[in-house]
Structure 1
């Protein structure tokens, strides 16, 4: 299979994860792709390929005389819960000419380069888009296809000498659990790279410090006809809570290194209401200030209404890997050297999100991120450049040679 065939095969598997599930992995349908990857890896020659009890695929491209570092490459198999990943109908655009790409006439959906400006860099590329009814799954099946293409290439080109190369494919990255059960000791690499980014000119070793906040409000439900001075509407308090957070820290006002508070789920009635937030900032001190805003608002509202109205739970999701990578910067220098050899004008940018690599870095496996050529992830405007996917394989080859 070539890389296009691999990618189209992998996106045919519905692997959407579920943040509300208590199972591991969160959806068992992810295991179907895992089993297929193990089968392909064994056919290639990766004889230790296996799917573990947590739904993680591991394998080793055995060394053939090289004496460099044992390095790893990692991608995730699941797709986002934000949009359907079922019955994906990819559409190919060959030698993109810079014009508007019609996705779905019935839904009046298009990719307009004036709106999605990254398309302007992709003139002449071969692209794969959605049909406007689902996401595509380039996040991160493009990364899976790139790693598998590398593995296949190396087994057919033994003249490229290398030490052991570790590969892994994780479930549940999109719901923040991709590294929960990752066995760093078994993986046994000195460092690794996740293939889970966008433009292949861009690499990442800075990400958000990430927290989740769960706000539960217990109101006092009274018949509205007799509510005066008695009712406390949990819904109204929820609105009050949200409006007390700094307006400039809403996600749609931020970019670059700006942090944000984002409410992604709200439900309730007069008696009870729940708000679910994600809290993000590249600067840990500023992230802690945002957390203190939540605590301050809870205290104020409890005092205002005269009882413990609000239950607040805040959990750490992942931290900024830059704090670890800066002490292992040679990993970035090797990546920059590999990209330079290929004539790629590389640049670092902060991830306005997270990858498995952020948590793996803090688990003892330094793990910056490399692009795959995808864009507009998690929705019907998602697309990927096959041209960039092939370039990403070349970057990995150069890293192996290093």
Structure 2
């Protein structure tokens, strides 16, 4: 680009902002938009930050001050700093200072503006607003850096192995380096385990008070169920409220199940993939939220907190996030555990299914059907099918809702021997067991036992081996720390987010941890939408808001007194 074009672009924006002093509000916006439009023809980079300010002012319903704004530095052509290894203190001003943003004046107003509320601001607050605008851009860049790393997990039939893909190693290394840069000079500890989990510990800064310890979690892997190689994130600034057409030919619509929340995101920044792969917002949105919270906490010593732990796990999307969790890095079992992996802005889970898996091995014996009785024909295929047919249809997932449990015989295949050779005479039936109530769980187990007995009687020449029941995740309600739900509701409300507790017909990282003996913990919103699909997307402003909700939770827990449960 020619130097003269750059100068013209900058002048156009400066003239627009000078006119702001004299024109009516409607005219102000019109002049800014027209000037930016003209400048964009020559230099998009020059006006990127100015466009963010314009979006925040106009589309987020954030009124302009009556007088001229001080120099906000938004038209600078200085390259934006976003290197995880950059320890230059010159960029610390990008991080919003909670002294300004957490005192009930600026931050709540800014976050509430996401809901379309109007708030007046005085001139001396514009520096805080400028910091917030830069922080939104910082959050966007951080998420993009994570999303571009394909950290797809690898599913295996053998539940005793813990596979790790090259992408999972890469993102764990990247995150470790980023956190080391963020936490340099603080008393935080960062550890990357051999299984590529990343642990962060920030010791309590509260003296003479015993407060509950707090652990947040997110996961680094993405699902193997959807293409995830060569992810190409696309940023849609100032979303106009309509359909989003992606290069791969699919359309993300606010009228579709995948895009319902788009109706609440007009004027905000939306990130999608190109439509040929997933985006990875499940759960790199949660990772973005938590790293943002860590960054603010370690750089602002006035934020009071007890012992804080952050765990970034692996293989959550194949149900094994708890398998290689090492409690020694979080001093055993923290009091309050919160998983940042939800997709509902207005709800958070406080209970979920208890989930377990069972395998039934039907061992057959082939012979000529004409001599079936004489040669004791063990028809494993028919016996396995009969077994499945004995399960009450009312206990099938298609008949289950709310807090009703179910039995799901979801796979019937030939098993393999120790050498990997397929056993053609045998069949392996895999069964999922789900329930909220322990008594119902016992009823469902008895139903499976009855089906096994009836099948053995009907097909005596087929031997049935019932495998050991493996718990996949536990109901978090059984061991959740008292008052956790109230803390989340209070913290979210401060930032204009009305979150209510709900039951989750599924599992979370916290639920997997609960199955291994840790406390149960709720799952809160991360910003992710349409997970496990090529429609997956995230709203940047939602991630920023949840970063501040996370910090608010931290501060509110610091005001609690630890309960003696002995």
**TM-score normalised by length of structure 2:** 0.65
- 1:62 is displaced (CA, Å) by 4.5
Alpha-carbon deviations, 1:126-177, whole Å to 9, x = none?
3222333332222211111110111112233333233442111111222222
Alpha-carbon distance change, 12 to 241 in structure 1, aligned in 2, over 3 angstroms: farther
Matching residue of 2:447: 293
Matching residue of 2:464: 310
Contact kept, 8 Å, 1:259 with 1:280, in 2: the verdict is yes
Matching residue of 2:479: 324
Matching residue of 2:506: 353
Provide the C-alpha distance between the structure 2 equivalents of 1:396 and 1:90, rounded to a whole number of angstroms: 25
Alpha-carbon distance change, 91 to 243 in structure 1, aligned in 2, over 3 angstroms: farther
Matching residue of 1:51: 192
Contact kept, 8 Å, 1:149 with 1:393, in 2: the verdict is yes
Matching residue of 1:83: 226
Alpha-carbon deviations, 1:89-139, whole Å to 9, x = none?
223333444433334555x56546244463354341432223333322222
Matching residue of 1:113: 255
Matching residue of 2:521: 367
Question: Which of 170, 176, 185 is equivalent to 1:32?
Answer: 170
Question: Which of 141, 150, 153 is equivalent to 2:284?
Answer: 141
Provide the C-alpha distance between the structure 2 equivalents of 1:187 and 1:24, rounded to a whole number of angstroms: 24
- 1:265 is displaced (CA, Å) by 3.0
Provide the C-alpha distance between the structure 2 equivalents of 1:258 and 1:126, rounded to a whole number of angstroms: 38
Provide the C-alpha distance between the structure 2 equivalents of 1:286 and 1:324, rounded to a whole number of angstroms: 19
Structure number with higher relative contact order (C-alpha < 8 Å, ≥ 6 residues apart): 1
Matched, 1:275 2:417: no
Contact kept, 8 Å, 1:232 with 1:270, in 2: the verdict is no
Contact kept, 8 Å, 2:254 with 2:262, in 1: the verdict is no
- Which has more strand, going by share of residues? 1
Provide the C-alpha distance between the structure 1 equivalents of 2:145 and 2:551, rounded to a whole number of angstroms: 23
- 1:76 is displaced (CA, Å) by 1.1
Alpha-carbon deviations, 1:295-346, whole Å to 9, x = none?
2111111110114532222222222110112xx3212221111112122211
| Greater shift in the superposed pair: 21-30 or 337-346 | 21-30
Matched, 1:186 2:324: no
Contact kept, 8 Å, 2:222 with 2:280, in 1: the verdict is yes
Alpha-carbon distance change, 290 to 41 in structure 1, aligned in 2, over 3 angstroms: same
- 1:197 is displaced (CA, Å) by 0.9
- 1:206 is displaced (CA, Å) by 0.4
Provide the C-alpha distance between the structure 2 equivalents of 1:173 and 1:69, rounded to a whole number of angstroms: 26
Contact kept, 8 Å, 1:266 with 1:276, in 2: the verdict is yes
Contact kept, 8 Å, 2:383 with 2:462, in 1: the verdict is no
Contact kept, 8 Å, 1:206 with 1:349, in 2: the verdict is yes
Question: Which of 344, 349, 352 is equivalent to 1:207?
Answer: 352
Provide the C-alpha distance between the structure 2 equivalents of 1:141 and 1:112, rounded to a whole number of angstroms: 22
Contact kept, 8 Å, 1:7 with 1:142, in 2: the verdict is yes
Q: Which one has the largest radius of gyration? A: 2
Contact kept, 8 Å, 2:176 with 2:191, in 1: the verdict is yes
Contact kept, 8 Å, 2:492 with 2:499, in 1: the verdict is yes
- 1:49 is displaced (CA, Å) by 0.8
Matching residue of 1:249: 395
Matching residue of 1:42: 180
- Which has more helix, going by share of residues? 2
Provide the C-alpha distance between the structure 2 equivalents of 1:144 and 1:304, rounded to a whole number of angstroms: 53
Provide the C-alpha distance between the structure 2 equivalents of 1:293 and 1:103, rounded to a whole number of angstroms: 48
Matching residue of 2:383: 237
Alpha-carbon distance change, 121 to 231 in structure 1, aligned in 2, over 3 angstroms: farther
Structure 1 unaligned spans of 5+: none
Matching residue of 1:216: 361
Alpha-carbon distance change, 103 to 275 in structure 1, aligned in 2, over 3 angstroms: farther
Provide the C-alpha distance between the structure 1 equivalents of 2:312 and 2:283, rounded to a whole number of angstroms: 10
Provide the C-alpha distance between the structure 2 equivalents of 1:41 and 1:161, rounded to a whole number of angstroms: 20
Q: Equivalent residue of 2:352, what SS?
A: coil
Matched, 1:391 2:545: yes
Alpha-carbon distance change, 130 to 23 in structure 1, aligned in 2, over 3 angstroms: farther
Provide the C-alpha distance between the structure 1 equivalents of 2:295 and 2:271, rounded to a whole number of angstroms: 22
Structure 2 unaligned spans of 5+: 1-81, 83-137, 415-422, 557-566
